[in-house]
Every structure is written in structure tokens, then in C-alpha cells.
Amino acid sequence: MHGQCPGLTATFSRPTVSVRVDEGVVVDDGGFEEFVRARSAGLLRGAYLLCGGDRGAAEDLLQDVLERMYPKWRRISRDPEGYARAALANAAANRWRRKSRRVAEAPLEAAGPRGIAGPEREVTDRDLIVRALAALPPRTRAVLVLRFFHDLSEAQTAMALGCGVGTVKSQTSRGLARLREWLPEQDDTFPAVLAAAVRGS
């Protein structure tokens, strides 16, 4: 049997996130519902990128993380967003690792005509970047999302993923090199373009 915490919704094209906890668990949830209402949309966008553009998987991932956070709220309430980001990144990497023991980089299909500008071009760029991220190995994708979507430093990213700073640097370099190869028009300022584009997704 599960109880349900009331009023927990996230808006990212109107998803609903329901957090369930085991019956009988007593939690001091002061601030938890406010956190979910205020930050779920941003966390869901990050989860969407971590899941390679799979909206359903992103919603499931976020719900799982919020369910794990609820009983721990008193302990993690000083930095709940940092906890959530790290949990999402690690859960996403582990999820894709379970699905495939070996995750190969998938080549992008031809992008088609690029002679457009304005909002249509922005939508096209966002779609290409999401597809390019999806083609990367999950750990590399997690590093890029934490670094350029969530604006974490190399040290913060290493702490979130439980690895060394050197690993973050090498994964970042390798991931950006692949993305620049696939999206040469973004080559000059790719990290900034990546951050701007994914925030609009």
C-alpha cells in the first residue's frame, strides 16, 4: 500500500509528478511540496536531456528520484536541488547501462536544409542538440548536462557523479568534440549554444 503526498505537480508541457511513500512512514515535509512546485519543471528538463529526449522516461526518472527524496527530506533540505541533480544524473546513467551493456555512439541522421532563421531555426537547433546528446554514451551525456544545463563546476560535477575531476574533464572534452563533429555550425561557442538551446527545450 502507498500513500500519496498531495498537490505535487510539475509543469513542463503540463506533466504531473505524484510522489508516493510507504504507508506508515512519518516525514517532516516542510518545504518539500514548495520545492517540487518551484523546481520540478527545471529538473524535468534536465531529466529529459539525460534520457536522450525520452519524455516518458524523464517523467518516470523524476518521480522515482522525488519518491526517494521525500523520506530523506529533513536530511537533504539544505540543498535539495543539488541532491536531485546528482540523483537524476546517476539514475539516468545507470538506467541506460542496464538497458545495454555497451552503449555505442549512434550517428546522427542528415539534418536537412538549414536555411531558416528566427524561432523556426531555434526549434531546429534545440531538436538537433537533443538528438546529438541522445547519441552520446550516458555518462558523457550526464557530464554535459550537469556542466552546461545545470551550470555546475567541474568539481561539483565530479562530486555529483562520484568520479574524479580528471574524468569530468576528459568526458567533457570527448563529448564536446563529438557534438562539434556532428554540429559543425555550432563549433565556435558550442558550450554557450548548448546551454542556451537546452534551456529552451
* pLDDT per position as a tens digit, 83-138: 999 999 999 988 755 555 444 444 444 444 444 444 455 556 678 888 888 999 99
> 199: closest CA among 18, 12, 6?
12
How many CA atoms, within 13 angstroms, populate the side-chain half-sphere of residue 172?
Answer: 22
| Confidence category of residue 40, pLDDT binned at 50, 70, 90 | very high
Assessment of whether the complete model's pTM goes beyond 0.85: no
Classify domain 115-201 by CATH number: 1.10.10.10
Cross-strand pairs, 20: 4
| Confidence category of residue 183, pLDDT binned at 50, 70, 90 | confident
Residue 190 has pLDDT above 70, yes or no: no
Cross-strand pairs, 2: 22
Torsion sign across C-alpha atoms 184, 189, 194, 197:
negative
Q: Which amino acid is at 72?
A: K
| Confidence category of residue 48, pLDDT binned at 50, 70, 90 | very high
Residue boundaries of the structural domains of the chain: 1-102, 115-201
Please answer whether residues 131 and 53 qualify as being in contact, where contact means their C-beta atoms are separated by less than 8 angstroms: yes
Cross-strand pairs, 22: 2
| Confidence category of residue 145, pLDDT binned at 50, 70, 90 | very high
Please answer whether residues 35 and 17 qualify as being in contact, where contact means their C-beta atoms are separated by less than 8 angstroms: no
Residue 73 has pLDDT above 60, yes or no: yes
Least confident of 8-12, 30-34, 55-59, 119-123: 8-12
Grouping H, G, I as helix, E, B as strand and the rest as coil, residue 177 is helix
d(CA 95, CA 81): 21
Please answer whether residues 82 and 160 qualify as being in contact, where contact means their C-beta atoms are separated by less than 8 angstroms: yes
